[in-house]
Amino acid sequence: MTYSIKEVAEMFDLSVYTLRYYDKQGLMPFVVKNSSGYRTFTESDLSLILTICCLKNTGMSIKDIRTYIDYCMAGPQTAAQRRTLMENHRKKVEEELTKLQENLVEIDHKLAIYTDPDAEQILQKMRDYTAKEKAVLGF
């Protein structure tokens, strides 16, 4: 079964423009154009597009995605390079996830204050403390 660019765009919640951009950037050398010049996508193309979206959504640059796709297109002899690229990217994603989790702790802390029945008193105490601290420091 084949799919049009519009169908693929809808499947992945992308714009047709984005898919054309990815193609122009060399991320989709596997895509074939039919006799009318329209891009057609197969099931295996969809699998690679899913990977492209995953890598893009997790912060990989277009350049690095293109490198990964080039490795894929080169065949199984590039498995080690693909693995290294993915391991490096995974490490970056894990670091970002750690930062996000730390930020989530701070957000939860603030939510706990705002949902406390005594939120107004707690906030006033915090404000008073800040004012005293600034006065002592000469601000």
Identify whether 81 is part of a domain. no
CA distance 136 to 101: 34
Instruction: Copy the structure tokens of residue 115.
Output: 């949902």
- Entry pTM: 0.78
pLDDT at residue 137, rounded to an integer: 87
Number of H helices, E strands in the chain: 6, 3
What CATH number is attached to the domain comprising 39? 1.10.1660.10
Residue 12 pLDDT more than 90?
yes
Residue 89 identity (one-letter amino acid): H
Pair 104, 134 in one domain: yes
pLDDT digits over 80-106, tens only?
999 999 999 999 999 999 999 999 999
DSSP string, 7-28: HHHHHTT--HHHHHHHHHTTS-
Residue 138: predicted pLDDT: 86
Q: Look at residues 34, 58, 59, 32 and name the one whose alpha carbon lies nearest to residue 44.
A: 32
Same domain, residue pair 48 and 6:
yes
Instruction: Give domain status of residue 89, yes or no.
Output: no
Q: Which domain holds residue 35?
A: 1-74
